[in-house]
């Protein structure tokens, strides 16, 4: 799909040539070549203030060059440019490529370079933004839209070696996020725990992962009382999904990625309001992020051992459903008083974390659409984090900077931990109150990580966007799929 050529030549033929321009900055010499071919139309756009971030203009070449059209993408002020802004600018062009059903496209890599983004970075961002910006949600209308990427060839103009490989890496990351998006956007009746397990098996077979799918009877024998309690209100059988990637046989270190796989959440007996409940098909966003990350890991194949664990169920209500006041026994042996059945994600993750440890995980990262409180605290652009280990937290933060997925660490002070011990009848209270709700929810999971290095990521705000952007349509974002993969790949030694 990707190929490179050293410098732009007007006789080379493409459906579209994509160029970036900055506000108040001289045109790059390579862009000036194109500008001259187009009778200074690009210079005129700059004078017309058409270089604001995300703004795009289509120029028709009128046979002045072999490319049929030129997409000129605004990148904002050059001194303010970041990987995030460049990614967004390229994604703006990618959306147009999708809309115009373009087959062949070329990018002038130098035009996207700034002090904070070198050529290699720009190539990665081109690949990533092509994947993210061309993603479309599959609908179920009688006449549906084509959702496959139409682009067959991407040419990168740039002299540096390795640009093709860099773009391919970026595209792999974008495709991993898109896999997560697809899972999140699938309606709950078509994405049951069984369906999610089948998706995991497809991924395992694609990359040669070992896998294990535990059924209800096996969970009962093992004592996975927390997952089974949540699943009791649904006719759909729960699943405990495990994928194993062994990238380093000489190491005993195993990174455990644990994703909340709640395929639909009504709140159970503590039922949610009806407004927007249809969006709760996204409550398996953590599981989707883990599977998206495993897709990236399986493609890149780093020299690292990884185990993915996904406890999966629905949270519905019937005569057998979990009730407020019930006491359940988790796989770890810890007992839990259920004060709120809508605080179910932490329950299934309790057994997921414990099982990952039993399978040999030496460090743990769990990711979950866990609390509405994190949306109040951080909005929809930043993921909340809680940890028991400074070194692992720094690894996650470093990876998040590389991928442009923002994370903010929340405190783990002793008073918050004490709030979890406020049950008179069990070891833990699953819902000790509204105060510090995201912190106590994360620390509840940490009770099961115990001394194992652990980071919790709450993506309740970032897993879903309520309006379309250049990087994707309304719905699932694939949040943290790229960051989880980056944490693992950065461990390669």
Q: Which residues are annotated as a binding site for Mn(2+)?
A: 260, 265, 283, 342, 344
Token duo for residue 247: 């990238």
Give the DSSP per-residue string, 329-391: E-TTS-EEE-S-TT--HHHHHHHHHHHHHHTT-SEEEEEE---THHHHHHTTS-EEEEES-HH
Asked if 70 and 93 touch (Cβ cutoff 8 Å), the reply is no
Residue keyed to tokens 């799909």: 1
Report the C-alpha gap between 145 and 487 in whole angstroms: 35
Query: Which pairs count as long-range contacts for 268-271, CB under 8 Å and 24+ apart, including other chains?
Result: 268/230, 268/233, 268/315, 268/316, 268/317, 268/321, 268/322, 268/341, 268/342, 268/344, 269/233, 269/317, 269/321, 269/322, 269/323, 269/324, 269/341, 270/324, 270/340, 270/341, 270/342, 270/343, 271/317, 271/342
Residue keyed to tokens 């087959």: 103
- Please state whether 267 falls in left (phi above 0), alpha (psi between -120 and 50) or beta: left
Give the residue numbers of the binding site.
260, 265, 283, 342, 344
Closest CA to 126 of 76, 165, 178: 165
Q: What is the CA radius of gyration of the chain?
A: 24
Chain CA centroid to CA 5, Å? 32
Which listed residue (346, 357, 482, 491) is catalytic? Answer: 346
Which listed residue (33, 50, 216, 272) is catalytic? Answer: 272
272 in catalytic set: yes
Token duo for residue 298: 């399986």
Return all residues near 239 (Cβ < 8 A) that are at least 6 apart: 193, 194, 196, 197, 213, 214, 215, 261, 310, 311, 312, 313
49 in catalytic set: no
Report the C-alpha gap between 87 and 470 in whole angstroms: 9
Hey, which residues are catalytic here?
272, 346
């Amino acid at each position: 799909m990707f190929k490179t050529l050293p410098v732009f030549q007007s006789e080379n033929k493409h459906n579209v040539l994509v160029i970036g321009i900055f506000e108040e900055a001289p045109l790059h010499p390579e862009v000036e070549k194109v500008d001259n071919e187009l009778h200074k139309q690009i210079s005129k756009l700059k004078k017309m203030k058409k270089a604001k971030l995300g703004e795009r203009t289509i120029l028709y070449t009128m046979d002045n060059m072999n490319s049929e059209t030129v997409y000129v993408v605004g990148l904002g002020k050059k001194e303010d440019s970041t990987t995030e802004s460049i990614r967004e600018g390229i994604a703006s062009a990618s959306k147009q490529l999708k809309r115009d059903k373009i087959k062949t496209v070329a990018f002038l890599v130098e035009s996207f370079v700034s002090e904070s983004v070198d050529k290699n970075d720009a190539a990665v961002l081109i690949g990533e933004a092509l994947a993210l910006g061309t993603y479309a949600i599959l609908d179920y209308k009688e006449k549906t839209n084509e959702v496959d990427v139409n682009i067959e060839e991407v040419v990168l103009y740039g002299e540096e070696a390795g640009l093709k490989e860099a773009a391919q890496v970026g595209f792999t990351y974008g495709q991993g996020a898109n896999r997560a998006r697809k899972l999140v956007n699938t309606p709950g009746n078509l994405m049951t725990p069984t369906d999610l397990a089948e998706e995991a098996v497809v991924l395992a077979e694609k990359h040669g992962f070992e896998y294990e799918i535990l059924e209800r009877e096996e969970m009962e024998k093992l004592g996975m009382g927390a997952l089974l309690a949540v699943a009791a209100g649904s006719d759909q059988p729960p699943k405990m999904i495990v994928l194993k990637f062994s990238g380093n046989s000489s190491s005993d270190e195993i990174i455990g990625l644990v994703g909340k796989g709640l395929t639909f959440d009504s709140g159970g007996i503590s039922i949610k309001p009806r407004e927007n409940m249809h969006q709760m098909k996204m409550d398996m966003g953590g599981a989707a992020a883990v599977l998206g990350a495993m897709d990236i890991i399986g493609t890149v194949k780093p020299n690292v051992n990884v185990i993915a664990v996904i406890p999966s169920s629905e949270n519905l209500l019937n005569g057998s459903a979990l009730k407020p006041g019930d006491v359940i026994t988790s796989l770890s042996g810890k007992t839990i008083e259920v004060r709120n059945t809508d605080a179910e994600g932490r329950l299934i993750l309790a057994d997921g974390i414990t099982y990952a440890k039993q399978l040999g995980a030496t460090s743990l990262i769990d990711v979950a659409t866990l609390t509405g409180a994190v949306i109040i605290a951080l909005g929809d652009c930043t993921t909340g984090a809680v940890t028991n280990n400074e070194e692992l937290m720094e690894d996650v933060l470093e990876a998040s900077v590389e991928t442009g997925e923002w994370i903010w660490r929340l405190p783990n002070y002793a008073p918050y931990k004490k709030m979890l011990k406020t049950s008179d009848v069990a070891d833990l209270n699953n819902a000790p109150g509204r105060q510090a709700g995201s912190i106590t929810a994360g620390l509840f999971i940490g009770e099961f990580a115990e001394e194992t290095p652990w980071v919790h990521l709450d993506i309740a705000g970032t897993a879903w966007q309520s309006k379309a952007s250049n990087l994707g349509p309304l719905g699932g974002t694939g949040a943290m799929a790229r960051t989880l993969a980056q944490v693992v790949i950065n461990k390669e030694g």
